[in-house]
Amino acid sequence: MCGIVGVVGGRDATPIIFDALRRLEYRGYDSAGIATLVDGRIERRRAAGKLDNLAAVLARAPLAGVTGIGHTRWATHGAPTENNAHPHGTPRVSVVHNGIIENFETLRRELEQAGHVFVTETDSETVAQLVDFHLARGLSPREAAFATLRRLEGAYALAMIFAGHDNLLIGARHGAPLVVGYGENEMFLGSDSLALAPLTRRIAYLDDGDWVMVTPDGAEFFDASGERVERAVRTTALIAGSVGKDGYRHFMDKELHEHPVVIGQTLQRLIDPATRRVMLPDLPFDLAGLPRAAITACGSAFYAGLIGRYWLEGMAGLPVDIDVASELRYRDPPLTPGGLGLLISQSGETADTLAALRGMRARGQHILSVLNVEQSTMARESDVVLGTVAGPEISVASTKAFTAQLSVLACLTIAIGRARGTLTAAQEQDLVAELLDLPSRANEVFDQAPAIREMAAVVAEARDVLYLGRGSSFPVAMEGALKLKEVSYIHAEAYAAGEMKHGPISLIDSTVPIVATLPSGRLFEKTLSNLQEARARGGRLLVFTDTEGEARLRGLAEIVVALPTVSEFTAPVIQTIPVQMLAYEVALLKGTDVDQPRNLAKSVTVE
Ligand code: M6R
């Protein structure tokens, strides 16, 4: 949830670390800090708030040194103040930490009894104080780090520097990601390869429980028991140049406009346009023999999974269980051995989804993950990865990753349907044709921007907003409500349209706008009736429909946005784009920090 970086080499460390922190700011932006070694002593600069504040501190008080560590924080324990900002430490050691030390209270008590004085409210300071305790007893940095790691419970990625050891970084990982980057006479540690992308593409991933001694000449890896281990160095494909706003005001706007391209790129990987067939990579299990699927994910990725359930059950005839990962991991549902464990994640690092993956594996599931970051921890722990070709998604609010996930899930549904015999070859070709049509249909959605802005003006005035949808449009409504909450801070709830009269209808009055997603098709009339019920009670209706449904809604709804008419199958992909655009436009009107909304972080690597 926080971003960490470390550098050891021959160049000025601070600018390198600061630049890497910029690329890690998506992980948290409550505070930031850097510590370096200057003539064997540890020097540190920290600031509350975004990195620009740290830049101002560094401008006033520059930081020399060729070895250092940096951190961008998403606060868990202790308020986001300068005092709680990382790096934490003592004159002997400085530490940056991503994760949560669950036994920090016990450790802190022990250390206080031994005379250590804590100066922050963080769990992370415990790590620094414990290393310091061991160093003070005469242990070497390596021995002190190992002795400390053996006492830590919870999740951590750590980077440490030591006074008097100008050419040494120690890193460790347990339940939170950490990579080692190989440069020319310089080495790096980072939360992910993206952070190190302009510095090096040669990356080694630590396995869970690993720790590493890094010097300018290389890295020595150890496992949790302290045994020397080898970790392969791979060349990553990430290019830092793709992480820019390209003239857009916000990353969210840029990423919204990438929907058509991303859908196209993702489909291209999985479809042979000549035969109009879905071509999955070789799988280590038989799709026809799957007894059922268990889907899990968090946030927007979970809503993509819900749409996947409509498809897999309705078109492939595969029974599906689905739950948010934070619930699934402690619910211990009996899963049928040999079933499909289907994980969905943009980052591939979300702590709950990763834990659910491990739980599913332990219960005999074949693990197939739909991931955007194909070098992520989940990727390495999956039997099969189906990549979403969305490119780096920087805005904390997920947009393009969602339609890319749907593109993969649609292809997977077709492949499973064919394998199970619920879809014929001719049906597969028709469905594939509908998918291949999506990029250009998605492009047409942007023609509706003026009407979406009109809707945004209504929503921006509201305190509460209801989102309604039925069938696969219900998860689209959920996605719309989440996005609005996230970036505009307006309270929003999504309901299955048919559930309205079982309670939420009592909320309806002229101050609560109702945003409905209502594509033409089997469920159109049913949902229309629900909207009429809402209108009869004074509700203000703002409706996303398609060109076919438009005429039926004129006169009933206050604002109608007519999207391109597509099949019922692909409608949720098209309908998602404008609900996300609506949230963006409302955020602009509210003047919020669109790309980095308060309290959030892009990658949730803590429970
Ligand atoms: O990286 P993941 O897809 O696993 O992340 C899951 C959620 O944290 C994420 O979708 C979150 O809900 C977004 N901020 C939604 O916009």
DSSP string, 227-253: -EE---EEE----GGG-S-TT-SSHHH
Distance, CA of 259 to CA of 267 (rounded, Å): 12
Task: Give the closest residue (by CA) to ligand 1 atom 11.
Answer: 299
pLDDT, mean over the chain: 93
Q: Which atom of ligand 1 is nearest to the CA of 600?
A: 14
- List the domain boundaries for the chain: 3-242, 245-436, 445-594
Res 30: pLDDT? 86
Distance, CA of 423 to CA of 473 (rounded, Å): 23
Annotated catalytic residue within 2, 254, 400, 483: 2
Res 408: pLDDT? 98
Question: With contact defined as beta carbons under 8 Å apart, do 428 and 414 qualify?
Answer: yes
Question: With contact defined as beta carbons under 8 Å apart, do 509 and 538 qualify?
Answer: yes
Res 28: pLDDT? 76
Q: Which atom of ligand 1 is nearest to the CA of 346?
A: 3
Q: Which residues line ligand 1 (CB under 6 A)?
A: 298-301, 345-347, 350, 353, 396-398, 482, 486, 603-604
Q: Which atom of ligand 1 is nearest to the CA of 401?
A: 3
Annotated catalytic residue within 254, 400, 483, 602: 602
What is the arrangement of strands in the sheet containing 169-174, beginning at the earlier edge strand?
88-89, 93-101, 154-162, 169-174, 211-215, 218-222, 228-229
Q: Which CATH number fits domain 445-594: 3.40.50.10490, 3.40.50.300, 3.40.50.720, 3.50.50.60?
A: 3.40.50.10490
Q: Which atom of ligand 1 is nearest to the CA of 300?
A: 10
Distance, CA of 192 to CA of 205 (rounded, Å): 9
Ligand 1 centre distance from Cα of residue 299 (Å):
5
> Has 411 been annotated as catalytic?
no
DSSP per residue, 39-97 = TTEEEEEEEESSHHHHHHHHHHS----SEEEEEEE--SSS-S-TTTPSPEE-SSEEEEE
Distance, CA of 156 to CA of 484 (rounded, Å): 32
Q: Which CATH number fits domain 3-242: 3.30.300.130, 3.60.20.10, 3.90.1150.10, 3.40.630.10?
A: 3.60.20.10
CATH architecture label of 245-436 = 3-Layer(aba) Sandwich (3.40)
Ligand 1 centre distance from Cα of residue 347 (Å):
8
Q: Which residues of the chain, if any, have pLDDT below 70?
A: 1, 237-243
Ligand 1 centre distance from Cα of residue 382 (Å):
19
Nearest to 37 by CA among 166, 135, 158: 166
Q: Which atom of ligand 1 is nearest to the CA of 604?
A: 8
Residue pLDDT, tens place only, 169-221: 999 999 888 999 999 999 999 998 878 888 998 999 999 899 999 999 999 99
Task: Give the closest residue (by CA) to ligand 1 atom 8.
Answer: 299
Ligand 1 centre distance from Cα of residue 236 (Å):
23
Task: Give the closest residue (by CA) to ligand 1 atom 14.
Answer: 397
> Has 602 been annotated as catalytic?
yes
Which of 300, 396, 487, 596 maximizes ligand 1 atoms within 8 Å of its Cβ, making it the mutation to test the pocket? 300
Ligand 1 centre distance from Cα of residue 275 (Å):
35
Res 505: pLDDT? 84
Ligand 1 centre distance from Cα of residue 359 (Å):
20
Let me know if the fold of 245-436 is the same as that of 445-594. Answer: yes
